[in-house]
């Protein structure tokens, strides 16, 4: 667990697919791209994340990639996608869970393992941080009342993070009722 020591910084934890990466759609559902040739960042992602950085937030991408664990995608393919993200976007870290859905690991969202790992590594103040996800089920990853959550729908017309960043201000100090995980 991250302590509340002096010097911790606020962060935005970003889901990858449907938030900064254009998902693939099959049977009216969104999925992570499986091939590097199909991998595309949303056009406004760089400008939106830059606004968050200018407001003082660290940026951590936290993503489930079970297609690797299921043998549908090579890990090197996903690593190449993440290399694009780190070169094109001002993110501080990318945390990925490659386990299958049935593996019951601690890192797979909606469990908070990746969030806590990134927070520890980056020195994040979770009381001043929030999560942006493409699926409402991710709300469980931030535990009710512990970390604000903003859901972005990728269906039918992606809203992505642009509307959120138009309202971003520098982080406020936590209230006495703010409590991290």
Q: What is the pLDDT of residues 42-87, one digit of tens each?
A: 999 999 999 999 999 999 999 999 999 999 999 999 999 999 999 9
- Active-site entry in 17, 67, 92, 125: 17
**Three-point CA angle 88, 97, 101, nearest 5°:** 135
Of 50-54, 103-107, 113-117, 130-134, which gets the smallest average pLDDT?
130-134
More confident residue, 116 or 110: 116
Task: Domains for the chain: give ranges and CATH numbers.
Answer: 23-165 (3.40.50.1000)
Strand order in the sheet with 149-151: 93-97, 58-64, 11-14, 130-133, 149-151
Strand partners, 26: 29
For residues 89 and 70, is the Cβ–Cβ distance under 8 A? no
Instruction: Measure the CA–CA gap between 152 and 19, rounded to whole angstroms.
Output: 7
Q: What is the pLDDT of residues 149-176, one digit of tens each?
A: 454 443 333 344 444 444 444 555 444 3
27 is catalytic: no
DSSP letter at 141? Answer: G
Q: Is 144 exposed, middle or buried (0-12, 13-18, 19+ CB in 10 A)?
A: exposed
- Active-site entry in 15, 67, 92, 125: 15
- Residue 143 scores a pLDDT above 80: no
Of 48-52, 63-67, 92-96, 110-114, which gets the smallest average pLDDT?
110-114
Cβ within 8 Å of residue 72, ≥6 positions away: 34
Structure tokens belonging to residue 123: 């020195």
17 is catalytic: yes
Structure tokens belonging to residue 46: 């760089």
């Amino acid at each position: 667990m991250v302590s509340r020591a002096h010097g911790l910084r606020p962060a935005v934890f970003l889901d990858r697919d449907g938030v900064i990466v254009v998902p693939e759609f099959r049977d009216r559902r969104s999925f992570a791209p499986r091939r590097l040739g199909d991998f595309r960042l949303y056009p406004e992602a760089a400008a939106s994340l830059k606004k968050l950085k200018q407001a003082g937030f660290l940026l951590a991408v936290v993503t489930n990639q079970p297609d690797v664990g299921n043998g549908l995608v090579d890990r090197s393919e996903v690593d190449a996608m993440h290399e694009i993200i780190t070169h094109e976007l001002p993110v501080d870290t990318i945390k990925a869970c490659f386990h299958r859905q049935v593996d019951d690991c601690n890192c797979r969202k909606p469990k908070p393992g990746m969030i806590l790992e990134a927070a520890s590594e980056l020195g994040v103040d979770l009381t001043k941080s929030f999560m942006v996800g493409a699926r409402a089920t991710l709300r469980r990853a931030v535990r009710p009342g512990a970390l604000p959550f903003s859901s972005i729908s990728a269906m039918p017309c992606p809203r992505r993070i642009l509307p959120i960043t138009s309202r971003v201000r520098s982080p406020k100090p936590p209230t006495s009722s703010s409590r991290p995980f």
